[in-house]
Amino acid sequence: MKLVVVGGDAAGMSAASQARKRLGPDDLEIVAFEKGHFTSYSACGIPYWIGGAVKERDALIARTPEAHRDAGILVHTRHEVTAIDLDRREVIARDLDGGGELREGFDHLVYATGAVPVTPDWARIDGGGVFGVQTLDDGTAIHAWLESDPKPRHAVVIGGGYVGVEMAEAMVQRGLAVTLLERSAQPMSTVDPDMGERVGEAIRGLGIEVRTDTHVQGLETRDGRVSAVVTPGGTLPADIVVLGLGVRPNTALAAESGIPVGVTGGLRTDLQMRVVGPSGHIDGLWAAGDCVQTVHRVSGQPVHMPLGTHANKQGRVAGINIGGGYATFPGVIGTAVTKVCELEVARTGLTEKEAAKAGFAYVTASVESTSRAGYYPGASSMVVKLIAERRTGLLLGAQIVGREEAAKRIDSLAIAVWNSMTVEEMTALDLSYAPPFSPVWDPVLIAARKATDAVHAAG
């Protein structure tokens, strides 16, 4: 049999590696195509390399193309798959450096093309200096631009989500004057506005100018380079522009090839990561990573949630099944975490807006507490917010904003959401305690108690 993988990062190479573990080269030939120069890398680490916390780009690479080849996976980098013929069971790939084409037949195909940055028409300029942040090639281009002559002095980051906030901080660490533009009333719209307000304060504390309720009208260039960002509130100088407007599933090739696309723009799959069409799963066709849609376990709705954690898990599931084993991917609950200077931000489950959209009546509870016993040195503050269904007390979602040792508490809350616990059940959780690690009542437990009171008060 032959397996062809389209996309050489987390999902695609996880699938290839898992299939190879179960079937040797005599039983399964594996060929992978990657448009960029790199395979199996941490895209999430790019802002930290740009900002200097990570010193070497190659530290972000988990496994090189050469390592995959040594493991019996033939990787073609700088090859873009331009066509997929489902009837002939064949892909066509273009060599981006040497020219020419390759044709590969397949018995199994893993579509793992990832996502692409949202790029409005106004961002498509005849000049350099405008960047998305999705691949390690993108990061390499940004790093080179920051070292170019003349060196950039002013950065404008458009979009205040995870990537935008992390890249704004990275630009400050590189010594640039930074402006962050956000269309909403607060940055970090993945948390509720009351929590996002705290994030905005932290960003401003870094010396970043934050302009909310702002949209971009266009870009200006000079001498082949971006020079300014035009907004209703004025024109901002910009020697580099970073797009943090989100991403969309990279499924254009799939749609052109007759592969059905779901309501989120991602490919629909079953639990085994087999691509699903109108009549059920399509034999031999698999998909994983940022190009697929999945199911939110709380709302029950299809969602596109591009995170490396999901990509690796989905690729692993696909590879196990291709190799003759059995594995499933049961969906997501939206757990995510980031860091802005010393401020940590985390979420899981549904926000208030998402809960309302899903049709839940809910109550909320927020508490301010500390990461350690108040008398123990180094205790820092945090706010924990819970969202619970009004009638049952089911934990629908949680958010944390705080200083050191705050954000990873989201994991215990994610486990509670995943296992459909009520906030009242959570009040009895046997969480660890010692003064260096938490107060005698952990912030999670205090929030659960307050949320339980809110559920009872709501009747």
CA distance 338 to 347: 9
**What's the longest Cα–Cα distance across the chain?**
70
- Residue 98: partners with Cβ closer than 8 Å, 6 or more residues away: none
The strands making up 225-231's β-sheet, listed across from edge to edge, are 218-222, 225-231, 234-237
CA distance 220 to 140: 24
Our CA dihedral for 42, 263, 282, 111, rounded to 10 degrees, sits at -20
* Helix locations, 244-307, DSSP H: 252-256
The residue from 44, 62, 337, 341 that is catalytic is 44
CA distance 59 to 89: 37
CA distance 353 to 334: 14
Q: In this structure, are residues 231 and 181 in contact, taking their beta carbons and an 8 Å threshold?
A: yes
Encoded tokens for 412: 């215990």
Q: In this structure, are residues 387 and 349 in contact, taking their beta carbons and an 8 Å threshold?
A: yes
Would you call the peptide bond into 150 cis, given omega within 30 degrees of 0 as the criterion?
A: yes
Q: Is 291 in the active site?
A: no
DSSP 351: -
Q: In this structure, are residues 91 and 81 in contact, taking their beta carbons and an 8 Å threshold?
A: yes
SS3 state at 244: coil
Encoded tokens for 343: 């401020």
CA distance 192 to 200: 12
Burial class of residue 274 (count of CB atoms within 10 Å of its CB; 0-12, 13-18, 19+): buried
What is the identity of the amino acid at 42? S
- Residue 265: partners with Cβ closer than 8 Å, 6 or more residues away: 248, 249, 251, 293, 304
CA distance 14 to 317: 9
- Residue 414: partners with Cβ closer than 8 Å, 6 or more residues away: 333, 335, 348, 349, 398
CA distance 335 to 418: 10
Q: Which residues are tagged catalytic?
A: 44
